[in-house]
Structure formats: structure tokens, C-alpha cells
Structure 1
Amino acid sequence: MRRRNKRNRGGHENHERWLITYADLITLLMIFFVVLYAMSQIDIKKYDALAQTLQHQFRKADSVLEQGTGVMGGTDRAKYETPSPSDAKETAKNREQALQDLLHLIEKYVKDNRLEKQVFVEDTPKGIAIRLSDQFLFSLGRADLKPGARPVLDRMSVLLGRLNTTISIQGHTDNLPIQPGGAFQDNWGLSASRALSVLRYFVDVKGLEEKRFEVAGYADTRPIAKNDTEANRQKNRRVEILVLRQEKE
């Protein structure tokens, strides 16, 4: 009887205590995966900021490719991209309009100042040609500008300064040889020096950009009249300012 009472005092054994440990394990696993998930989330704003910073630094560095910009080697499209046909057509149209405006302005200036015998202007296939007589610009056999030529060149510099195109300054002579003892050995030297004097006036005195100009002396190789009379030889002795219709490569 005592033994039975002793067994009853021990109570009923609980066989579900393992559920507590299992629940704790599941809770810990859930927390672990929540932490992993949180760590795997990307901060989009921070990611974009990092990507932009890296991209900037790579493009800022020296390029390893020709015509490239930065380590990534992308080309500078604004500099090397071929203009679209519509853009090229619009640019050519604007340049042509500027040339025609120049032609009309010079014609009006020549007429208003009665310079028809010293200054000639015409539209040629290459561009607007402004021909200045050597008598108007220089003394016989010399290449320094006369003071009387400067007001006309001043006006020319204002008009040429408005253009964004190449300007060719060319010296020409007649076919008579240079007299011995002069400052120049031959007509080549004289024609080149006269063209250079006009160029230097535009660049050094009037401040036009020198990269827009080209200069040449042709002596008597490009006459506009036969060298058979003094009047025709006078026509050939000139400095020609050619505002080119097409840009140089």
C-alpha cells in the first residue's frame, strides 16, 4: 500500500517537453534567416551613388584607346561623331547666307566710298573674292602698307570677324621681273610679303584669330588678265582676300 502511494506521488511523466526545445530552435533559425535577408537587401540610392562615382573616376582617367575618354575608352561623341545630314545641311546654309551678306556689305561699302577702282568683289565658286589693287595698298616694289589702305582694311576686319570660315590671303604680281637692288629677289618674294603684310594687319593690329587665315604668294602664275598692256598688268598686281565657301580639312 505504501509502495503504491509512493508511485502516485511521483506524478505523470510529461513526454512533450521536446517541443520547447524545437520551438526555440525554429525561432533561432527564423531570426538567423531574417538577419541574412536584411543583409542581402541593396540600398538603391547608395548603389547608384557608388556607381556614378566609379563611372566618373573611370572616365576621368587617361584613355587607353585612340579618341577615347577615360579608362573605359568611350569616344567623345560630341567631338568625333559625324554630323547628321540635316545638321550639315543647316550649317552649310548658314555659312552661305553669311557669305552673301558679306558680299552685299562690301559692295555697298565700295560704292559708298567710291572705291570701285581700288577694291573689287565678286562671288566665285571657291568663295567671296575681294581684290585689292597694289597701288591702293603698297608703294612700287614694296610690301609695307600705305596709311591710306588702313581704313579699308579696318572695315574688312570688322566684316571678316563676324564669319566662322577660312580666309585665304593671296599675293599676285605681273610678269615683269624685279629690278636689281630692290628689297626682293623676285616676284615670289614680293607677292608673299605683300600677302603677309595684310595678314599681319588683321592679326596683329585688329586682333583676328590667326588660325582662321592662310597666306600664299603666287607671283605671276595666276593672272586675271593678259600681261600685254600696263592696264592689264595693273589688274594682275593685287592682293586677293578669298573667303572660302568650303571649310578646310
Structure 2
Amino acid sequence: MRSRNRQRRQNKPDTRDRWMITYADLITLLLIFFVIMFAMSRLDIEKYETITQSLQLTFKSGDSLLEKGNGILGTADPYTQVNPPATSGKDDEGDKSSDVKADTPAPMTERELAFREQEEELLNLMNMIQQYIKDNKLEDQIHVSDLPKGISITLSDRFLFDVGRADLKEDSAKTLAKLASLFRTLDTIVSIEGHTDSVPVGEASKFKDNWELSGARALSVLRYFIDQEDLDPAGFQYAGYADTRPTGDNDTADGRQKNRRVEITVLRQLQQ
């Protein structure tokens, strides 16, 4: 008797984990539901219209049942809305014109136009200065570059000044006059910066240190533009940075020579 009961228990199916089958079916249905919802949310209108038109042309009768028409056999609900007629040529032209309007960029503001005009001026300025340097063989004395802040014109101190002095050399007047003629029509700020190497000024110098020397050299260039060329003082600014912004190695003669310079930068900004 006991053996029979034991055999029945062994043959009786285990129902403890049967709930997992129902749970797995539920998860599968939810997954299918969200997949369908995702697919419907990304419906491609052009492909949808192409498919519906293809089906209508194939069966040659009835409206699209998907769009609440009468169906292919005409047995659908007669009170539902019938498909709208095919778009006419005028509507197509309207759609095309709207597409053209959408692709047309918005007109630029006055300030944007002014910035574009200034960029063209700066490009022309750079090209003219480069040509002047090439024609006069001043490549070792003057260097021009296009920086994010503006067009930078770097002049060596040997081209502008004697050692330890801030008085302009007579030979530099021709080049400075050329630059003044180019600056005259610009609607922006011209920044003049003086730089020195790290060697202290001599005891016989009238300048206390490199700060005074660098500032005096920048001021001499500014004075030339204002006093000799009669440029508007409102279009200029100047500063002296001594040896705080080197471009070369102060431990070498060539590096110190690169650091002794005056930088004239035509800034990228509009006058208010």
C-alpha cells in the first residue's frame, strides 16, 4: 500500500512552477505590445502613402480600409469617412513652394552683415600687408598672422628701436605710414602691445624696468599713428607686458630677440 502511494506521488506532475508559464506569456505579450507601439510611433508617412496607393492600383476598386474607406469589396461601413481625393497639381506646387521656403535661410541681421563685411576687410588687410612685406623684403623684421582675436602684425624691436630705447627709428616711418593708411578705413579697435626679453634694463637707461620700456615703446607707435598720421585716438589701445608673454626662449639669443617686439593687432570686434 505504501509502495502504491509512493508511486502515485512520483507520477503526480509538479505544479509548483506552473505560474512561471503564465508569467512568461504575459511578459511576451507586453514585449509585443511595446514593439507594436514603438513601430506605430515611427510610422513613415511617405512609405505608408506609397503602400496604400499601390494596393488601390492593384485591386482597381474601393478605397483604403486603413483610412476608413469602403474597402476593396465596398462592404465596409458606409458611414465612415472616405479617403480624400488625390492631391491636385496646385497642392503639389504649394507643397514644393513651402519646401523651398523652409530651405531658404533666414535673412541676416545688420550686425551679422557688419561682421561678414569686417571679415572681408581683415582678409584684404592681411593680403595687402603680406604683399608689402614680400615686396620690401621685410620677412625677417615683420610677421603677420591670422589669430582668433584678429590680424596680428609683429614688428621686431631692431626694425623700430635702438637697444634699450623707445624712440622710433627713421627707417620705420615708411612701414608705419603704410599701416596707418590701411587702418584709416577700418571700423574696429587696433591694439598695440610692447614686449621685452627677461634681461633687466641697464643702469644708464632712463626706464626703471622692462615694464616701463615695453609700455613706452607701444606708446611711441601709438603716438606716430595719432600725431603723425592723424588717426582717430578712439580706435586704438596700448599696453606694455615686459617679459611676461614670451614667444621664444629667454635662455638663448634668438629667443630673446623674438621676445623683443611690438605687436599690432586689428581686433575682431565692431565699434558700438
User: After TM superposition, is the score higher than 0.5?
Assistant: yes
Counterpart of 1:208 (choices 195, 218, 231) is: 231
CA deviations 1:196-249 (Å, max 9, x no partner) are 000000000000000000010000111111212111110110000000012477
Counterpart of 2:186 (choices 146, 155, 163) is: 163
What are the within-5 Å matches in structure 2 for residues 190-209 of structure 1?
190-209=213-232
Q: CA deviation at 1:152?
A: 0.5
Cα distance in 1 between the residues matched to 2:184 and 2:233: 11
What is the TM-score normalised by the length of structure 2?
0.59
Cα distance in 2 between the residues matched to 1:85 and 1:113: 40
Q: Aligned pair 1:233/2:260, yes or no? A: no
Q: Which runs of 5+ in 1 are unaligned?
A: 1-83
Counterpart of 1:125 (choices 148, 171, 177) is: 148
SS at match of 1:114: coil
| 1:104 partner amino acid | N
Considering Cα pairs closer than 8 Å and 6+ residues apart, tell me whether 1 or 2 has the greater RCO. 1
Q: Which runs of 5+ in 2 are unaligned?
A: 1-106
Q: Aligned pair 1:245/2:264, yes or no? A: no
Moved over 3 A (4+): none
| 1:138 partner amino acid | F
SS at match of 2:166: coil
Cα distance in 2 between the residues matched to 1:246 and 1:154: 23
Q: CA deviation at 1:85?
A: 5.5
Counterpart of 1:112 (choices 103, 125, 135) is: 135
CA deviations 1:83-139 (Å, max 9, x no partner) are x95111101000011000000000000000000011100000100000000001000
Counterpart of 1:99 (choices 115, 122, 130) is: 122
SS at match of 1:139: coil
Q: In the comparison of the two structures, how many residue pairs are matched?
A: 166
CA deviations 1:32-83 (Å, max 9, x no partner) are xxxxxxxxxxxxxxxxxxxxxxxxxxxxxxxxxxxxxxxxxxxxxxxxxxxx
For the pair shown, which has the larger CA radius of gyration, 1 or 2? 1
Cα distance in 1 between the residues matched to 2:184 and 2:238: 17
Counterpart for residue 135 of structure 1: 158
CA contact (8 A) 2:188 2:267 kept: yes
What is the TM-score normalised by the length of structure 1?
0.65
What are the within-5 Å matches in structure 2 for residues 166-181 of structure 1?
166-181=189-204
Cα distance in 1 between the residues matched to 2:195 and 2:160: 13
RMSD: 1.3
